[in-house]
Structure 1
Amino acid sequence: MHTENKDEMRDKILEAALKRFTHYGAAKTTMNEIADDLHCSKASLYYYFPDKKAMHLAVLEKIAEAYFAEMQKVTSHITSAAQALHDIIEVKKGFISKFCRLEIFKIQKDGPSVFLEGVKRAKQIEIGLTTNVIKAGIASGEFKVDNAELTGDLLVQSLMGLRFSVPDHLSNDEELDEATFERVIEKQKLLLDIFIKGMQA
């Protein structure tokens, strides 16, 4: 029971931190503010997280779980592989729009190696899901592809690359403003259409 209470309190802290980070940004949020929101002492927060960066990482892990659960939904019942690939981009757009203040790219640069390992794992999950969609397209006759794994890897890496090549005024660790983010998404959709046409040829 005590373990359950600890887990519940940890979840409450993460929910409060997520609310603050989403509204004000992670950098502008203090541990005192999160403690005040929860009507607890700052020491209580430090019992669960050694510092704000550790809390920030835990929040991002929680978001990543929800993100891939949503992706899994999109890719589990495929009627059109092409539409499923477009739906993956829409899921990505929705999550990044909602959680743009979480400073994901900044922490990718400054975060500990365990977070960077998490980023690599997340990319592999996305490649795996995309590859499964392509395989479903091959099985239904929608796509004509010799190597689904290679094509899935190339598609995901290419789409991710637009995050860094479209903006002409940002360093790799800066967050995208809304207009630039929309440009990235539109170019991702155009690139995806080119891939889809190539796979249908």
Structure 2
Amino acid sequence: MIVADKKRELILEKAVARFAHFGIHKTTMNEIADDLSMSKPSVYYYFPDKISLIVAVIERIFGEYVEKLAVLLDKATGVEEAIFSMLELRREFYQKYFMLHLGDNPHDTPFANADIKESIVNIRASEVLLLQQVLERAIKQEKIKSADAAHTAELFMDTLSGISVCVMAKQARQPMPDQKGFDEVLSKQKEVTHLFLKGLTRDDGTAN
């Protein structure tokens, strides 16, 4: 069992590396098998098809992201610090795994597959929930105005996604955006965060 789990992890690690560098469409199961000096049937033993491997890769990447995000948000001393920490982490993962095309555009999925889309939707819901908890804590501590934390968190995350999609659309002809593109996304998301927090500021001026 331990050996089997190790082989599965090795396949996952190689798939993550290849997908992140070449993209999902341009990576074949044969290439992953060759990289590991493993037969193609051996790869299919652990992942019956490419879709199941993609889903596992998505869950690995976003699982790591959500885990790190939960730690950052828990350590943050205020709403602004929490959100800015989230933006920095999102930018790190978005840039590192851009070639997987699992970013902020819900339609920018590698395949029109229900399992892949469901996996992404579920993990993004975890991200929204973590932000919701930050807002609920701040409301309880009377640091921001009382609001529907769930709706506000979802609305804010949708806004972040919109910024990312709009900025990256300007570089659509490039397989990989330049550094300025990623910097522009982060800069605009931080600007929107300031406006967002200003709207949540209590009458006494408290925001975080």
Which category of TM-score, normalised to the shorter sequence, fits these structures? Answer: 0.7 to 0.9
1:161 aligns to 2:159 (yes or no): no
Residue 136 of structure 1: aligned partner: 137
Aligned residues: 197
Farther off after superposition, 137-146 or 41-50: 137-146
**Amino acid aligned to 1:186:** S
**Structure 1 SS opposite 2:109:** helix
Farther off after superposition, 16-25 or 129-138: 16-25
Residue 109 of structure 2: aligned partner: 108
Q: 1:106-154, CA deviations, whole angstroms, 9 ceiling, x for partnerless residues?
A: 7626241122122221222121111111122223332123322222122
Residue 45 of structure 1: aligned partner: 43
Farther off after superposition, 148-157 or 58-67: 148-157
Residue 177 of structure 1: aligned partner: 177
Residue 78 of structure 1: aligned partner: 76
RMSD: 2.3
C-alpha distance in 2 between matches for 1:146 and 1:175: 41
Q: TM-score of the superposition, structure 1-length normalised?
A: 0.85
**Amino acid aligned to 2:111:** D
Please show how residues 178-197 of structure 1 align to structure 2 within 5 Å: 178=178, 179-197=180-198
Following superposition, which runs of at least 4 residues in structure 1 exceed 6 angstroms of deviation?
Answer: none
Q: 1:12-55, CA deviations, whole angstroms, 9 ceiling, x for partnerless residues?
A: 10011112222333333232322122121112111122333332
Cα offset for 1:67?
0.7
Cα offset for 1:100?
1.4
**Structure 2 SS opposite 1:104:** coil
Does the CA contact (< 8 Å) of 2:102 and 2:110 recur in 1? no
Does the CA contact (< 8 Å) of 1:26 and 1:102 recur in 2? yes
Residue 34 of structure 1: aligned partner: 32
The percent identity for this pair of structures is: 31
C-alpha distance in 2 between matches for 1:26 and 1:148: 36
Residue 206 of structure 2: aligned partner: none
1:147 aligns to 2:140 (yes or no): no
Does the CA contact (< 8 Å) of 1:17 and 1:34 recur in 2? yes
Residue 200 of structure 2: aligned partner: 199
Does the CA contact (< 8 Å) of 2:63 and 2:123 recur in 1? no
Cα offset for 1:170?
6.8
Structure 1 170/110 Cα, relative in aligned 2: closer, same or farther at 3 Å? farther
Cα offset for 1:86?
0.9
C-alpha distance in 1 between matches for 2:115 and 2:78: 37
Structure 1 unaligned spans of 5+: none
Structure 1 76/197 Cα, relative in aligned 2: closer, same or farther at 3 Å? same
Farther off after superposition, 14-23 or 29-38: 29-38
Does the CA contact (< 8 Å) of 2:25 and 2:110 recur in 1? no
Structure 1 99/135 Cα, relative in aligned 2: closer, same or farther at 3 Å? same
Structure 2 unaligned spans of 5+: 203-208
